Amino acid sequence: SRRTGRPSLPPLDLTGGTKFRLRVWDALQRIPRGETRSYGEIAEDLGKRRAARAVGGGCGANPIPVLIPCHRVLAANGRLGGFSGGQEWKRRLLAVEGVLLT
């Protein structure tokens, strides 16, 4: 759009998601570029502090992994965790955003 300098995208078709997964995907879209969150932090933000594994399931079921940025979600210990495109691809996406992991 003109205001953000970013191209406008058509609405995402997320009709296959459960209510919880839709909430997870919404939370993922609110993680700013260049920042990360843990699965547990997202679960807590959703009011389900014991649902870190369910958040991981929502990330794994993400139908559009780059537009809904599940690559910004890390394990509690700061490690990469899973990603549908593999850990190396996740590391590269994060590096492009300025996130360098040791």
User: Which CATH number do you get for residue 41?
Assistant: 1.10.10.10
| Structural domain that includes position 90 | 19-95
Kindly report, residue by residue over 11-43, the tens digit of the pLDDT: 777 777 899 999 999 999 999 999 999 999 999
The reply to whether 77 falls in a domain is: yes
Kindly report, residue by residue over 37-84, the tens digit of the pLDDT: 999 999 999 999 999 999 999 999 999 988 899 999 999 998 998 888
- Residues marked active site are found at 70
The reply to whether 30 falls in a domain is: yes
pLDDT at 1 over 60: no
The reply to whether 47 falls in a domain is: yes
How far apart, in Å, do the first and last CA atoms of the chain sit?
36
Domain count for the chain = 1
Signed CA dihedral, 29, 27, 57, 42: sign only: positive
User: For the whole model, what pTM was predicted?
Assistant: 0.84
Instruction: Report the alpha-carbon angle 37-43-45, nearest 5.
Output: 75
